[in-house]
Amino acid sequence: MSADQTPVCPASKGAVDAFLTSRHGGVVLPLTDRWLTSRARMMSDLREGGRLRDAERFGWLSLAGVCVGMTSARALEIEPSSSYLHVSSGPSDLLPVPLGKEVEVEVARIPGIDLVVSMVPDDLGFQIFVAAAASRTSAMVTLGDRQIGEGAFASALTDRLAAMAVDDGGDADG
C-alpha cells in the first residue's frame, strides 16, 4: 500500500490495536472488547446491506469520535450518511465547511461474468480520524490548509459527530 492510499477501516479489536500501533505510534483509546464487537457488527451490517462506503465512514468516524472525547456509546450512534458532517455546528466551529472533498466510489465492471467491483475506502473519514488521533498528542491539528488548536478541533468535531448521531430511531438529518 502506498503512503497516500486510504486503508480499509479496521474492525476487530486485534486489527484496531495493530493499526493504532503501526500507524499512529500506539495511540491508546478507551476501547472495550464489547464496544469494538458492537462497532464491528454495525460495520458488517452496513456492508451486508450494500452500504459499503457508509461502513467505512462509520468505522473511521466512530474511532475519531472516541479520539476527541465523545462517549463510546454516542460514537456508536453516528449515522455515516448524515450531511451534518459538512455543516458548521455554530460560531465557535473553526472546521472547514464543507469539511472535505467527497471522493466518488470507483466502480469497475468485469466483462464476460457480469461482476461489478467497487473501491470504497473512505478518504474523508480516514483523514478525519488521522486528525482526531493527532489531536491526542499535538497542540495543533492540520486539516487541509488550516491549523486548528487541539481543543477547538476536538470541540467542533464532537459537536458535528453528535449532530450525526441517530436518537430514538430517528433520522440524523431530520
Contacts within 8 Å (CB) and 24+ apart, 91-98: 92/152, 92/155, 92/156, 93/156, 93/159, 93/160, 94/146, 94/148, 94/152, 94/153, 94/156, 95/143, 95/148, 95/153, 95/156, 95/157, 95/160, 96/143, 96/144, 96/146
Tell me what the mean pLDDT of segment 143-167 comes to: 88
pLDDT digits over 30-65, tens only?
A: 788 899 999 999 999 998 898 889 999 999 999 999
Banded pLDDT at 66 (limits 50, 70, 90):
very high
Neighbours of 113 (CB within 10 A): 6
User: Helix or strand or coil: residue 133?
Assistant: helix
Question: Cα separation of 78 and 164, whole Å?
Answer: 5
Tell me what the mean pLDDT of segment 139-162 comes to: 89
Tell me what the mean pLDDT of segment 159-172 comes to: 72
Residue 165 per-residue DSSP state: B
The confidence score (pLDDT) of residue 169 equals 44
Domain ranges of the chain: 13-164
Bridge-based pairing of strands 146-149 and 106-110 is unpaired
pTM value surpassing 0.75 = yes
